[in-house]
Structure 1
């Protein structure tokens, strides 16, 4: 048993020779090879974990629970990557990252790239959300290095907020639907395609490897497939897989998916932007946000309402393309609206078109709107202060009114003497035209008070006659 437990997987012949040497050293009768073989096979179940590894014992020796599929579309997605069995020049391959609905077996989203990296995973899941308009109740993945990245941490936090659970498993049976489907995908749909090189040396399927003669033809000069060609093959294979009855099932994955109501979590456009578009932090300056990429500055001018709330503040920005950006609160990630790219108008009259005139008029309207929004905001604050204490609300006025030092000087003999020493006679100096320096807008400013007895004329109205 000791010899059998070695990870080197010693066979009966080596073990017989070793035991025989030990028996001779100690004066025991040496056993026969058949005796060693008989006990060897009896003890195999006892040493599987040490001999072959814990995974071999767990997945191939120990009993496993029966697991039913998700009861409806959107209940669970299983995700995994699979090497597409086609060679590009230099024996390079591409990876298909698939998102599979566990109820129907339908590939609801996928992406093809050189490796199964963070970008590939996020783009594959984004494609699934775009295609279905949903997030599932659960996403099941293996223990991929993606799970240790900062992007994954942020992504999973966002998923939890929306009600989706991310499950990491090391048990292939937990995501057995997508694992088994790749074998069928390769054997049934990839195999008929030009350039198919087999499903790899680790495959246990019979006839899973292409003959070396045929592989040589695929890999000679002019026989290699290009990256674009392999991606087109993947597109066709996914479409065929989803629309074909597979195995014992009497309907295609597409038909099964459409047959039952989706129980996933609806995702609108803004939530999809929040989930899959990386955000950057930008400060709003002069009512606009500038984003520099590859030496080019892209300008986005806020509306009057956005200006009043966000000018001078830092916001989170996401965008799908350069024509429109989406603003979010820096801390809560709450949506703050969208901003289109700034449009420019010709300054020279000879170059101006009707479109240029419209741009300039809209800009003038935006400026007026900003000023009006500022006044409305001042009104709101003043009204709130008046509601609390009308006197206190206006207590700042005298504090910000400069003192008339002329009158106070006339009441102080010492100051009069100092003034006369400087050649100034205070008695002949006129008072300063002091006024309140409060510059904020008040709701009462510009409003005319009317006499209760006359609804048409103000109280101080006077009729003037002109000759």
Structure 2
């Protein structure tokens, strides 16, 4: 049995040689040759390394049936020979012994000699162990270790490092392969503090024409010749100077405001997210990136047109939980789509948010949106209008998440926006063509597109963040759960009648015969007014009645902005046919009896108050006092006093006359 050198521990891994596996009859040579070829392409089982002029297989990468035919891992470990990491051995040898032979070549430069010694030791190792320069594994490990130990003057990539080792092995002198970079080049020092060149460079960079480095070099070369300067900087110096932190800071407007190339020079204030659900809602619209469908729509001239259209969605999203609360499907963003999406969000949640962020969408200046905006402000909602996409960054990023995580799984998804440059941004032209042909053949339409998109939204709402988000890897809850369980201390509750007043149908009506009669979609509807005070006060008065779009069974009355009451529909009585239904008669009779009872009580109450207000029998007032207190006593008392005074006066005059007549 083969043992010595055929079972080794290398890099804390147990490795078995190919000869040992064949000797143990665990498999045959032909199968092993095919398995090695497959492992080189796909990895997985039969992972192997070329070490010590032998092919070794990782014990952990052997198939289970092969391991069962071999001794146990403990038995193999007991006889295994341990080898240290060859890469570390090469570098340690170069740093302790190998560099001494090269000091004379590099003028006693110890760091340079050590780096050169690594190349010579690596070349010697490759020759001794038969390592092929066509294989990358050894050179990748060597390059990684060199970078970890911070050795200078050596390439950072394994390919360049391999080329140097190979060239040395083929006979190239070591001092031609390893030397100081740009030795003897004084360009950097010569022009470092040249204010004239720096000024020209800044003028050319600071313009928003965004010149290339080659163009700037040619301009500087021309200026140098015009000013008779003896030396001109090299293209490399110009390129390095343009890429320096100092120049990029000074010429940060080179790419224009808002460019991703100068975003690190813009002021930034860290922001926290919303603390509670309902603290902030954001609304925006976007195209749903699934294949187009045949649909009928109204064009800008008001004509109905049939053609291929893409589905559009306007969505309201809660900032704290990320939950989409309401949405509307359409072919383009407009005021009605925005209002419908907002109405769906309010209906689903039963409240208005503390703050609502939106942009100036098409139709923001219509009367319909002005009404909604005014009502929300009246309720106390902070209405924030922003033109900057960063103000609605949460919902903008959410659209990207829908595409990358949830739409990607759909056969109908065609890819990201046309400006995306990611490798996986778009599906192939051939695939999209086949997908469109399938859609046309199977009659893919507006309703089908809605069902597909509803699936995306449902999957997002009920998938924990930790399933796909690195930022929220510790959040095991779904957006729906976060919104449901969160406190909502800053929201404004909305009752049904308030919702209908804000978003529903509003019409002017009058109460007559203890009913409201109105027409909706050319169909008559009747609503019984069973509140006596409302009938007494508002019969014949113009009121505003409000309906829920989805439920005409109840009407809500408003006197201006003041809520009056809500009343149920009454189905007209059917006197004829098999569907005879006279229940409305009983309902209206009950309302009439209720009104008659209320009327009688009101009349009796008024009569009782009148009796209580009747004046009592007046007290006697002397005529003199009555005349003197005119305006301070009841008028009838004053009239009685004046009458009595007149009678007394007339009686006195008669008496005097009679006395004179006696004489």
Q: State TM-score, norm by structure 2.
A: 0.50
Distance 1:322 1:269, change over 3 A: closer
Q: Is 1:88 matched with 2:293?
A: yes
Report what 1:344 is aligned to: 573
Q: CA deviation at 1:222?
A: 1.7
Contact 1:316–1:333 (8 Å) recurs in 2: no
The 5 A counterparts of 1:268-347 are 268-303=495-530, 305=532, 306-320=534-548, 321=550, 323-346=552-575
Q: Is 1:203 matched with 2:420?
A: yes
1:79 aligned counterpart, secondary structure: strand
Q: Is 1:226 matched with 2:445?
A: yes
Report what 1:452 is aligned to: none
- 1:155 aligned residue (369, 372, 393): 372
Q: Distance in 2 between matches of 1:88 and 1:115?
A: 14
Distance 1:336 1:70, change over 3 A: same
Deviations 1:339-382 (A, max 9, x none): 41442231x7xx598842x4324333433433443444455566
Q: Is 1:127 matched with 2:321?
A: no
Distance 1:272 1:33, change over 3 A: farther
Q: Distance in 2 between matches of 1:244 and 1:282?
A: 48
Contact 2:500–2:556 (8 Å) recurs in 1: no
Report what 2:256 is aligned to: 52
The 5 A counterparts of 1:404-415 are none
Contact 1:5–1:51 (8 Å) recurs in 2: no
Q: Distance in 2 between matches of 1:275 and 1:79?
A: 18
Q: CA deviation at 1:105?
A: 1.8
Q: Distance in 1 between matches of 2:228 and 2:610?
A: 105
Report what 1:193 is aligned to: 410
Q: Distance in 2 between matches of 1:92 and 1:379?
A: 70
Contact 2:525–2:569 (8 Å) recurs in 1: no
Q: CA deviation at 1:103?
A: 1.8
2:309 aligned counterpart, secondary structure: coil
Contact 2:571–2:584 (8 Å) recurs in 1: no
- 2:323 aligned residue (95, 106, 109): 106
How many positions carry a matched residue from both structures? 384
Q: Is 1:172 matched with 2:389?
A: yes
Contact 1:308–1:373 (8 Å) recurs in 2: no
Q: CA deviation at 1:9?
A: 5.1
Q: Is 1:370 matched with 2:595?
A: yes
1:334 aligned counterpart, secondary structure: strand
Q: Flag structure 1 segments of 5+ consecutive residues without an equivalent.
A: 392-467
Q: Is 1:141 matched with 2:358?
A: yes
Q: State TM-score, norm by structure 1.
A: 0.69
Q: Distance in 2 between matches of 1:205 and 1:390?
A: 93
Q: CA deviation at 1:288?
A: 3.3
- 2:433 aligned residue (204, 207, 216): 216
Instruction: Name the stretch that deviates more: 154-163 or 27-36.
Output: 27-36
Deviations 1:29-65 (A, max 9, x none): 6988948767766766666668534687996751321
Contact 2:204–2:216 (8 Å) recurs in 1: yes
Q: Is 1:97 matched with 2:314?
A: yes
Q: CA deviation at 1:185?
A: 1.0
Q: Distance in 1 between matches of 2:602 and 2:261?
A: 70
Structure showing greater Rg? 2
Contact 1:279–1:318 (8 Å) recurs in 2: yes
Report what 1:71 is aligned to: 275
Q: Distance in 1 between matches of 2:522 and 2:480?
A: 46
Higher relative contact order, structure no. (Cα contacts within 8 Å, ≥ 6 residues apart): 1
Q: Distance in 1 between matches of 2:578 and 2:605?
A: 41
Q: Flag structure 2 segments of 5+ consecutive residues without an equivalent.
A: 1-201, 295-306, 616-663
Contact 1:13–1:33 (8 Å) recurs in 2: no
Q: CA deviation at 1:130?
A: 2.9
Q: CA deviation at 1:244?
A: 1.8
